[in-house]
């Protein structure tokens, strides 16, 4: 059953649901397709292959981390089906607050990690380099559904011929714009270049109505959005060497170009005047119709609409191209991986769990269930045989931009979880102080990062 965008969102708000997250979506578990985040009602369980003959299988306990034990009827029904099909497996469900995926590394070192991990894309390179993830090839080579996964996404976690993660949700970072504000300003299309974005923002900007032409992160996590501009300028913040070590490139000309563009947005008066606004504030203000355009992920649509914006006024496009002519952006998401340090029986059980919860049957049931409640976000299912458009009636531009993101998306800059805070501080400085010299600030940030974080990172990640 398909739902149209406006109808689905109105149902979602009436039911008090909100898909999306107030934490850092590009680095944490996205909520739309993650099984532990479901808050919906009953639908019929999918038909799946009957369980194997288990007469010779030894019982095995599989430890998994969850963020809560509060599960809805649909989730319980699916879990019951999994256990019925795999009677030799019992689940030891441990409630882990915070961000379980990002805490997996420390847990492996401490010897109390789960047997499988539900990890953000951001952490996967670190886990692979540390040797704590099990290669999946021996399982995927014999799985009849493996050929249906989208190569652009599974290849992100392929190293030296081995696959280490199986993605189940992808949320590319896009560019959101308020169609009503654009129309009011006489602008027909979203900006295709940085310069066009500045000019469009000038037309939209209206301090008297508290409308900001352009917004980006300025108070926290600034490296998250800033990296996109660096890529669009033709560079990067780090370089990954063949042996897994990193080089810092904070003084790359593209970094300086991106910093100067941020300063231009500020000096032209089109950036939010309140630089203390945090991520959640920006999404809220976009939803209140107070922001003309900003970096925007598809899985924030429902959250913004819940604030009052007409969902038909939420436009999504690829980010404007920078000086390089590229519209590069990040591909965020979540994937399953197996703990390489657990025993073989648990590894095998972990694969049974992963293959069940990423199967076409499970995902179809999941999105059919969401469709009945109207919880809607334009995200990507990383399979070629199923799409969210099978269940929701999205605007055609959403379908087009999600497809286009495949060719311009990449993982976040190498070592971001270790080096990002140094970039963050430099970005904040060049925004707060209009006289700040980008070359000086980013050079200082690189020197500090090199002295405090680089050596430890390279020692941990050298192959």
Distances (CA, A) of 432 to 2, 31, 109, 429: 47, 33, 40, 5
Using the predicted structure, report yes or no on whether residue 55 has a pLDDT greater than 80. Answer: no
Using the predicted structure, report yes or no on whether residue 10 has a pLDDT greater than 50. Answer: no
Q: What integer pLDDT is reported at residue 406 of this predicted model?
A: 84
Lowest mean pLDDT among 15-29, 286-300, 420-434: 15-29
Q: What integer pLDDT is reported at residue 374 of this predicted model?
A: 66
Query: How much is the mean pLDDT over the chain?
Result: 87
At 370, the pLDDT band (50, 70, 90 cuts) reads confident
Query: Is 3.30.930.10 the CATH number for 3-171+332-409?
Result: no
Using the predicted structure, report yes or no on whether residue 404 has a pLDDT greater than 80. Answer: yes
Q: In this structure, are residues 357 and 48 in contact, taking their beta carbons and an 8 Å threshold?
A: no
Using the predicted structure, report yes or no on whether residue 218 has a pLDDT greater than 60. Answer: yes
pLDDT digits (tens, 9 = 90+) for 244-299: 899 999 999 999 999 999 999 999 999 999 999 999 999 999 999 999 999 999 88
Distances (CA, A) of 59 to 55, 87, 348: 10, 8, 12
Q: In this structure, are residues 298 and 403 in contact, taking their beta carbons and an 8 Å threshold?
A: no
Do 173-330+412-461 and 3-171+332-409 fall under one CATH topology? yes
Which pTM value belongs to this model? 0.81
At 376, the pLDDT band (50, 70, 90 cuts) reads low
Q: What integer pLDDT is reported at residue 54 of this predicted model?
A: 55
Q: Which CATH architecture has domain 173-330+412-461?
A: 3-Layer(aba) Sandwich (3.40)
* Domain regions of the chain by residue span: 3-171+332-409, 173-330+412-461
């Amino acid at each position: 059953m398909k739902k149209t965008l406006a109808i689905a969102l109105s149902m979602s708000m009436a039911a008090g649901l909100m898909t999306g997250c107030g934490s850092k979506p590009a680095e944490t578990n996205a909520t739309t397709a993650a099984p532990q985040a479901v808050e919906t009602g009953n639908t019929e369980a999918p038909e799946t292959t009957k369980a194997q003959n288990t007469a010779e299988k030894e019982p095995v306990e599989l430890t998994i981390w969850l963020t809560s034990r509060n599960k809805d009827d649909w989730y319980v029904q699916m879990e019951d089906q999994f256990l019925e099909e795999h009677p030799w497996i019992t689940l030891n469900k441990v409630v882990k607050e915070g961000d379980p995926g990002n805490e997996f590394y420390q847990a492996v070192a401490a010897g109390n990690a789960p047997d499988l991990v539900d990890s953000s894309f951001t952490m996967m390179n670190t886990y692979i380099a540390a040797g704590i993830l099990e290669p999946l090839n021996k399982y995927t080579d014999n799985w009849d559904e493996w050929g249906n996964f989208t190569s652009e996404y599974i290849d992100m976690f392929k190293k030296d011929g081995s696959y280490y993660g199986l993605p189940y949700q992808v949320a590319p970072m896009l560019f959101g714009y308020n169609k009503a504000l654009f129309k009011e300003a006489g602008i027909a299309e979203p900006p295709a270049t940085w310069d066009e974005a500045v000019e469009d923002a000038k037309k939209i900007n209206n301090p008297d109505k508290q409308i900001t032409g352009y917004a980006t992160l300025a108070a926290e996590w600034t490296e998250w959005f800033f990296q996109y501009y660096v890529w669009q300028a033709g560079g990067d913040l780090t370089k990954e060497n063949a042996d897994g070590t990193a080089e810092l490139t904070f003084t790359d000309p593209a970094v300086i170009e991106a910093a100067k563009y941020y300063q231009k947005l500020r000096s032209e008066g089109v950036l939010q005047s309140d630089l203390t606004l945090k991520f959640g504030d920006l999404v809220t203000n976009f939803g209140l119709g107070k922001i003309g355009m900003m970096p925007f992920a598809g899985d924030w649509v429902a959250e913004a609409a819940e604030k009052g914006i007409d969902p038909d006024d939420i436009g999504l496009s690829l980010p404007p191209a920078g000086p390089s002519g590229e519209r590069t952006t990040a591909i965020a998401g979540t994937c399953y991986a197996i703990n390489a340090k657990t025993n073989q029986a648990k590894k095998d059980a972990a694969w049974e769990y992963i293959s069940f919860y990423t199967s076409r049957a499970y995902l179809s049931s999941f999105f059919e269930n969401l469709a009945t409640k109207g919880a809607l976000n334009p995200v990507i299912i990383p399979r070629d045989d199923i799409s969210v458009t099978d269940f929701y009636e999205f605007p055609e531009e959403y379908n087009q931009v999600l497809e286009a993101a495949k060719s311009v998306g990449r993982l976040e800059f190498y070592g971001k979880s270790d080096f990002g805070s140094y970039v963050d501080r430099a970005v904040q400085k060049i925004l707060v102080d209009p006289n700040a010299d980008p070359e000086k600030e980013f050079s200082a940030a690189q020197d500090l990062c090199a002295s405090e974080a680089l050596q430890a990172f390279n020692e941990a990640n050298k192959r």
